[in-house]
A and B are shown apart, each in its own frame.
Chain A
Amino acid sequence: MNHEEILRNLAESVISGDEEKAKDFARKALEAGIDPLRAINEGLMRGMSRVGDDFSKLKIYLPEVMMAAEAMKAALSILEPAALQKGAGALKKSKVVIGTITGDIHDIGKNIVAMLLRANGFEVYDLGRDVPIDDLIRKAEEVGADIIAASTLLSTSMPYMEDLISLLKERGLRDKYIVMVGGGPVTREWAASIGADGYGDDGEEAVKVAKELLQRVKGK
């Protein structure tokens, strides 16, 4: 099997959400002498990019995106250590801490954003639903996050997003993190009014904004 075929199979294993196949072809890539970084970028990431496109066109749905992310994670568990051996730092991914904010248990929108961020190469720490603001900050500090992202479907949980920004300021951490907000009642204007750095109308825009902000604010 030539390199192109292996890379194509890696991409396909992600698209079909097949964990075993993904691991199998990750091993085959290394055995065939493919640079692990190339296997990640031209195999896994290519597959994930297709998954993201298909989801945005409603050709596939959230479960398929979740399975694709699992397959990618399985293959990365083999390719990442090999890539690090070849040159640590080359794989450094931007980190996002994300959660549905205090008082709110609606998490599907947040799950979609988390999955699409993963699909686009971010390292995502998903703290789940009804997440207290200090938990978001604590986790961001712990993992050295670049972005803190908060979601809500409830207008009465939106003030907790303001509290998140206030608490970051109070603790002298505001400049350390990009803060993104989103969810049903959250608007672009409101996000700007509370001093959030970014807002996405949907998962696709959230990813685009996250990438732009990283480049603009953090030079990544």
Chain B
Amino acid sequence: MNSIWEVIDRAETGPYMEERDFDLKVVAKKCRELVKEYEIRFDPNEIVTTDDSMADDVYEAGMRLALEAGIYCINTKRIIKFDESEIKEGILSAPKELVIGQGRDSRVLYARGVEDPRRAIICGGQAGAAIPEEWYLPMSISYMKEPLIDMINNGGLAVVEGRKVRTNTPLEIQATRRELMMLREAAARAGRPGISFIAGESSVSVLGDLAIASERYMRTSDAHLVALLNELKTDYDRISKVVNFTEYGAFNVTLVDPIIGGYAGGPEGVAVCFIASFLLGRAMYRSEYHVCHPIHFRYMSTSAVECMWNLNIVGQAMARNAPFIIMGDVWTSAGAGSEMIFYEIAANTITNVVTGTHPLGVSATNGKYPHASGLETRFMAEVAIATVRSKLNRKGANDLVVKLAGEYKDKMGKPDIGRPFPELYDVNRVVPKPEWNSLYLTMKKKISDFTGLEI
């Protein structure tokens, strides 16, 4: 049986290759060939697709890429390969349901299906952002006090005790521990002491991660992200994170974020690369669940049309063929405090919920600015619930998503970045300021009318 021990062995003994050759002669070449062979086509007018055979083709192409490419280890320049039986074992043993969190705050996180009638699990927070130390606690509370939010993935700290944190230095340990201390405090203050975290975002290298494998910081009902590097790569820092959490007993979550326009090519090649990444990520990291995050080479945002098509086709391909538990990111170009963010959230969330992923966000401004709060994530949750309640199918979802995207896609180059958290919330009472609350109510009504969903 494959294990993390075997992965470490293969990182040291697998076939040697120059990185540029892996990028161009393996990933780029194979993705292009497979897209052509399977005739996979992205259509901007069909963001949510109804063609099951295309989803199955994307899956099959991704499986072939996984078998042919493997994962490149940057440190050793060797390829960690897996055979078909190992990848299939990874699929068969992948959890379909998982209890996360503790006590009354625990939730059952599950592998979502296409047009799944169940309520999606809502993961809130401005994941990926660097959040100022002085706002971190109230901002985290703003998410946790939202009853519709089931679990938390907030950003990290780039400054601790007034000192700028530099990657791979001692301050990374302190920043990661401080992040977890504040999350615990926020959970207690919000009356959600058992809420599950995806955390340790301040740990860019393995340093912070090693420092939080303790009940005082991370519980075994919590999770950390372990990225696959672009494309189909890993390194010893990532593998060390897996070793640490595997032995500690908390959840490993693979973060997969291929770049549209990068080595895998356009939206179609990225979809194939996604499947390979999920399958290999499971085989290599033994992750219990996964995050799907297509990156647009210019806008970054998952709400870009090409990215939502990817969330859609990858979600469906996996749900139909290898039902993993997958969170679909909701990263917007606009910031909290703007009107535009509501359109992006609605389109992105409808796409995720109908096609097999649980929404995770809102990472407003793509995490560039701390212009985020619990309120827009409440809206994300409300859209997710309304989508399921209205029994929206893929065709209906596509009509709405195309219409919603039409309201913002031309503004993504120069989005309204909104306002920082303290301008949106009363930070002492941790409630939205009247102006922000009023905009939320107005936009909720506007988007309800615009889509016909009872949000």
Asked if A155 meets B158 with Cβ closer than 8 Å, knowing A63-B28, A108-B230, A184-B366, the reply is: yes
Instruction: Answer yes or no: A78 CB below 8 A from chain B CBs.
Output: no
Q: Are A55 and B204 in contact (CB under 8 A)?
A: no
Instruction: Answer yes or no: A159 CB below 8 A from chain B CBs.
Output: yes
Shortest Cβ distance from residue A219 to the other chain B in the assembled complex, whole angstroms: 31
Stretch at the interface among B138-146, B160-168, B385-393: B160-168
What's the Cα separation between A23 and B397 when bound, in Å? Answer: 52
A-B CB contacts (within 8 Å), total count: 89
Instruction: Answer yes or no: B156 CB below 8 A from chain A CBs.
Output: yes
Instruction: Answer yes or no: A9 CB below 8 A from chain B CBs.
Output: no
Which residues from chain B contact A185 at a C-beta distance below 8 Å?
130, 367-368
What's the Cα separation between A155 and B172 when bound, in Å? Answer: 12
Chain B residue at minimal CB-CB distance from A162: B164
Instruction: Answer yes or no: A160 CB below 8 A from chain B CBs.
Output: yes
| A interface SS class | helix
Instruction: Answer yes or no: B450 CB below 8 A from chain A CBs.
Output: no
Q: Are B262 and A106 in contact (CB under 8 A)?
A: no
Q: Could you tell me which residues of chain A, from 130 to 182, have a CB within 8 Å of some CB in chain B?
A: 154-160, 162
Which residues from chain A contact B263 at a C-beta distance below 8 Å?
61-63, 108
Which residues from chain B contact A159 at a C-beta distance below 8 Å?
164-166
Stretch at the interface among A40-48, A97-105, A208-216: A97-105
**Neighbour of A103 across the interface among B130, B166, B264, B366, CB < 8 A:** B166
Q: Are A61 and B261 in contact (CB under 8 A)?
A: yes
What's the Cα separation between A56 and B205 when bound, in Å? Answer: 32
Instruction: Answer yes or no: A77 CB below 8 A from chain B CBs.
Output: no
Which residues from chain A contact B165 at a C-beta distance below 8 Å?
156, 159
Q: How many residues of A contact B (CB 8 A)?
A: 28
Chain A residue at minimal CB-CB distance from B32: A63
Q: Are B24 and A66 in contact (CB under 8 A)?
A: yes
Q: Point out which of A61, A66, A187 has the most chain B C-beta atoms below 10 A from its C-beta.
A: A61
Which residues from chain B contact A58 at a C-beta distance below 8 Å?
260-261, 266, 297, 306
Scan B24-36; emit 1 where CB is below 8 A from any A CB, else 0.
1000110010000
Instruction: Answer yes or no: B229 CB below 8 A from chain A CBs.
Output: yes
Instruction: Answer yes or no: A26 CB below 8 A from chain B CBs.
Output: no
Please name 12 pairs of A and B residues whose Cβ atoms are closer than 8 Å in the assembled complex, sorted by A: A61-B266, A62-B262, A63-B29, A66-B24, A102-B166, A155-B130, A155-B158, A156-B172, A156-B175, A156-B202, A159-B166, A160-B166
Q: Chain B interface (Cβ within 8 Å of chain A)?
A: 23-24, 28-29, 32, 74, 130, 156, 158, 164-168, 172, 175, 202, 204-205, 229-230, 235, 259-266, 269, 297-298, 300, 306, 366-369
Can you add 7 more A-B contacts, CB < 8 Å, to A103-B166, A105-B74? A58-B260, A58-B306, A61-B264, A61-B265, A62-B261, A108-B259, A160-B167
